[in-house]
Amino acid sequence: MINVKKLLAIISVMTIFCSISVIHFKLMVNDYENGNSRDLPVFFDNSNSLPLEIPSNNSDVVGIINAPAIDLLDAIVKTTDNNYYTNHNINKNINTVGSIFMDYRNLLDSKKIIIYGHNSLESDIETGFGKLTKFMDYEFTKQNKYIKIYTSCGLQEWEIFSVMVVDNNTTYHTKINFKDDEELQEHLNWLINNSIFDLGTKVSNNDQLLTLQTCINEPNNSFLLINLKKESDTCVQNN
């Protein structure tokens, strides 16, 4: 007799790894980090060879996140809720690894953007945002404070100013709309003052903000938040 539970477990594992392969399907393009070629996802602007857009039928793709220090290079998607891409990959297939996705309330020019992604408790399954835990080390983060986001408009560079661990019942960090500068400054102070270490990064309420969120299990039932400010944007410079 077939062991149904065992069969379902095998199917689940196969689905995860097949989907990871799809997510990380790659194309060689120029590496703007060091002048050499490297593997990049199929995210690429035909006009200037930058990894900007994915040649697929998924109109939910809004950009690509690139943090070379942690070998993170993945598509960012966004839809009409914050649930769908927790268990669907970039091809919209059901997948427990999910995708890296932007908060549905955000636009690319929102004052504060939130991008979510899964971590994995399984040592043999690596997720893109699982790599964010490397930023919990002060010396590592001090030396690797910058990430890049490519959009259809241009290249954005972001600088980490705060690394936080919060209980997963906390929702204050998901606030993205502020009635005035005072409320925004209060929120910004909270992000700064609750960082696990001081990076000395200067940030003000004039900056555009970004939070990268994933879950961690030390302590249990917690979120890891990497908070950044925008340093530059070629989209703005070109307009």
Task: Please check the confidence at residue 199 and state whether its pLDDT lies above 50.
Answer: yes
Task: Please check the confidence at residue 25 and state whether its pLDDT lies above 80.
Answer: no
Q: What is the pLDDT of residues 111-137, one digit of tens each?
A: 999 999 998 766 556 778 989 999 999
Tokens representing 98 are 């999910």
Task: Please check the confidence at residue 62 and state whether its pLDDT lies above 70.
Answer: yes
Q: What is the pLDDT of residue 47?
A: 43
Q: How far lies 83's CA from each of 13, 75, 100, 108, 123, in Å? A: 21, 17, 12, 19, 24
DSSP SS3 for 148: strand
Task: Please check the confidence at residue 236 and state whether its pLDDT lies above 90.
Answer: no
Spans of all domains in the chain: 4-238
Q: How far, rounded to the nearest angstrom, does the alpha carbon of residue 117 sit from its chain's CA centroid?
A: 6
Q: How far, rounded to the nearest angstrom, does the alpha carbon of residue 155 sit from its chain's CA centroid?
A: 15
Q: What is the pLDDT of residue 211?
A: 98
Round the average pLDDT of the chain to a whole number and report it.
79
Closest alpha carbon to 50 in 234, 238, 229, 237: 234
How would residue 49 be classed by pLDDT, with cut points 50, 70 and 90?
A: very low
CA–CA separation, 213 and 162 (whole Å)? 12
Closest alpha carbon to 100 in 84, 111, 123, 112: 84
Q: Which CATH number fits domain 4-238: 2.140.10.10, 2.40.260.10, 3.20.20.140, 3.30.9.30?
A: 2.40.260.10
Task: Please check the confidence at residue 17 and state whether its pLDDT lies above 80.
Answer: no
Query: Percent of the chain, pLDDT > 70?
Result: 72
Q: What is the pLDDT of residue 237?
A: 55
More confident of the two residues 198 and 119? 198
More confident of the two residues 59 and 124? 59
Q: What is the pTM of this model?
A: 0.78
User: What does the pLDDT average to over 181-188?
Assistant: 97
CA–CA separation, 10 and 4 (whole Å)? 10
Task: Please check the confidence at residue 206 and state whether its pLDDT lies above 60.
Answer: yes
Of the ranges 34-43, 45-54, 92-101, 147-156, which is most confident?
A: 92-101
